[in-house]
Chain A
């Protein structure tokens, strides 16, 4: 490894160093705010290293990682999202009993795992990143040790292990056929001997990743985990873990190529359609905001698959843009869920939001904007993102997928609007003391910043698109 390699790895190294630093800090002096500040400083420092790493050009660092614009862009998204989640967690946990400091440590570890996945070009680093992410997540989900949390944590643990073993199985098949674990070399060999075993391996790999991304029919854990985990952790699961895994899937499959593998393409298309329709239909019947958002996230990942299957440079920019927009929006939505005051528990029933417009106008307006962005209404990032996905889909003439996307969006309006409607209904009876808790300024600031990002991307997306096209194009 040369000096340049170390510079390329700086964002990851800084992140890892911050984890160690927090561990030491906690053992010396426990302070919630101090740990938060270290976390935020570490994330900022890691983000500051991104231009430096980009300056040394796309580099292959050992055979495990490749640090190119694509990896760095996704790392940037992951770092930013983790920053927001850290602030939300502080706001969420500051009133609770117990020791909160380890949460930040786990958050950073999970973020490190996601960033490693975004940069991995080898099965070993893929597995490393994925395990780092999954095992941190499972503790995070069970964090404040309620009954529901433990249930969700265990559920996640079991399904994550199952999916990991499926993934490993798939890797074994592919290794057996190609004799390599590097994505780039696999691509060269794939054309030559795309036998049944190779396709099976790819299929199993896709299933394993499908579990992580919560695509239908591998989605059963999603709603329970989303509901059980504390709201900031749910935000993390819905954004950072998805971004990391999707970045990896996109890199892997665009190098190996799905198009030539007709069976695989068909499988992905069916998964996409099933996710879009089932996700949206299941969301219709829910009465819990976190479950609604869980099913809607399934549908959104299905939408993403449309562009994913479209392949080509347009598809990669479309997916990257959509993931960025989706991340900002989802963070905002779960941020509101975590900050809505509700008598000592999380406000996750739809009924808890009744009349929020009149009690807490700013919070409600932000939530409404996030929901509109998820629904893809203009002025918000979600609109441009959805347009981009359709752009990619129509460009590759994937008509069936495009129309499923349209149908799915049509259905989704119902449950997004239902939440908006509830917020502006008059409160039923005397609402006892719900309005008292004030929104902490740090949380409000973060939500406002997310709102600004959503509107900025929705009105003038050109800079971000430009940046994605310059940096995140996969060769």
Chain B
């Protein structure tokens, strides 16, 4: 039941925030903040509880950390079925955390229709939590679509100059692609019904549905398109720079931090287990797209003159690593993907907050009109430097751990792809340092005199710095939490005989057989 409360709590908080706006603009902010803080506290309590009882290791299909299963639309066999596993737990923790950041970051920036703004924000978070928890495909699709409308409003109402175009583009891209997924869901539903006579959307029921390889590939591609748009994967990414750039800070944080993760999570939860053979046939192509995305995103980030757009393009690059890790499909790579998902959420979220703060102060995002800000805003610039370094993958910060694990995992599958992907590190170093150079260092040409971070802004940054550093120095709690779920995921791989993370991993590439993980550093 706790799972339904997680979602209902946010939905109720959102409604309350909306209606409380009539008492004053401070009310929605405080209500949202308290709603999210309570949720984060409850989740953290839950997490610690799982740790202390040592029952995070549920790895068999059908075993969950927590579960709720209620009838919903019996005529279709759709059930209100929520379930929590380790990866899901990490993702909803991230959701609550970034939700708090988003509320805190828009404390002063949003002065217009404050109630409706927070309503939309909380409903986005509720729908995202729903996606992380749903194990009924119909329910999953329901939440998947539900997040679009509030996000659309968030971008379309509180965004920057070109917001209407960006919001529309975002909405049409995601909605059209998810309709394709809907058809694939129904195809799977009927394929299952034809073979077993049981009409169900239940995830566990649909696992291992016998299908012809053509059907499996077609359905897998249906899911892949929807997830690939959200992730985004290279040819389907064009909505992202527009949406991220035009969105208000909270919207960018939610988009980069959470919405992109939803695509990756969908692949982990649904795409690989439901269509293992097709996914493994498709893996080379998917990984090539991922590598192309890593390099393309980084190159385009480097060539931007709009600071926010630059950060948006780095997302494409980072999410390429996630896609690479997912389709490499061994324990190392999967663990890496999970760590990147969290680290990217925090580091890119922080960069968007910094960009937003900068824009509030100097009213431009144009890199040419910045420079030398370190001398006037040392606290903001320091945070900026740190997260730029996190973004380039500096050891000691979270992103490094993830990207390193992914490369290790990929190396065992395909050496050329691993080599190409590591080129991404070089390009990302260039763009990250370029960013620091142009914004914070150099000469303050415009002689700007600007207020540095106040207490609220410093607190946001301090918390995010703590998280990204902790993730970089001691990622073990994250890895242990995800291990059960990832082991389960590994067991779906065709020809699965995969032991623990650091051991011998099933090799698809015989040439990589002699390589020991860990020797690449």
Contact = CB atoms under 8 A, between A and B. Distances in A.
A417 B151 CA distance: 13
Interface string A403-424: 1001001100110011001001
A25 interface: no
B190 A421 contact: no
A469 interface: yes
Interface stretch (B177-185, B371-379, B412-420): B177-185
B190 A394 contact: yes
A287 interface: no
Interface residues of A, number: 30
A421 B183 contact: no
Contacts of B157: 424
B329 interface: no
Interface in A378-416: 378-379, 383-384, 387, 390-391, 394-395, 402-403, 406, 409-410, 413-414
A387 B156 CA distance: 27
A378 B150 CA distance: 12
Contacts of B58: none
Interface stretch (A219-227, A235-243, A459-467): A459-467
A466 B187 contact: no
Contacts of A384: 73
A268 interface: no
A395 B190 contact: yes
A318 B74 CA distance: 15
Classify chain B's interface size. Answer: 20 to 34
A377 interface: yes
Given A377-B145, A390-B186, A424-B157, A462 B72 contact: yes
B172 A414 contact: yes
Nearest to B186: A394
A410 B164 contact: no
Contact of A372 (B72, B149, B182): B149
Interface string B139-182: 00111011011001100110000001001100110011001101
B156 A421 contact: yes
Contacts of A379: 146
B75 interface: yes
Contacts of A413: 171-172, 175-176
Given A424-B156, A461-B73, A391 B179 contact: no
B168 A421 contact: yes
B142 A378 contact: yes
B434 interface: no
Interface string B56-77: 0000000000000001111110
Pick the most buried of B75, B153, B182: most chain A CB atoms within 10 A of its CB: B75
Contacts of B142: 378, 383
A390 B138 CA distance: 13
Nearest to A422: B164
A384 B72 CA distance: 12
Contact of A409 (B75, B153, B179, B186): B179
B169 to A, nearest CB: 10
Contacts of A417: 152, 168, 171-172
Interface in A424-475: 424-425, 460-462, 465-466, 469
Nearest to B153: A424
Nearest to B187: A394
B112 to A, nearest CB: 10
Interface string B450-476: 000000000000000000000000000
B145 A391 contact: no
Contact of A465 (B75, B138, B167, B182): B75
Contacts of B152: 417
A410 B171 CA distance: 10
Nearest to B176: A410
Contacts of A395: 186, 190
B183 A406 contact: yes
Interface in B118-147: 138, 141-143, 145-146
Contacts of A372: 149
Nearest to B72: A462
Given A394-B190, A469-B75, A378 B176 contact: no
A402 B171 contact: no
Contacts of B76: 391, 465
A466 B146 contact: no
A387 B172 contact: no
Contacts of A469: 75
Contact of A402 (B141, B143, B149, B183): B183
Nearest first, the 3 closest Cβ-Cβ pairs linking A and B are: A410-B176, A394-B186, A378-B145
6 contacts: A378-B145, A378-B146, A403-B183, A409-B179, A424-B156, A462-B75
Given A378-B145, A394-B183, A414-B172, 5 more contacts: A391-B76, A406-B179, A413-B172, A421-B164, A424-B156
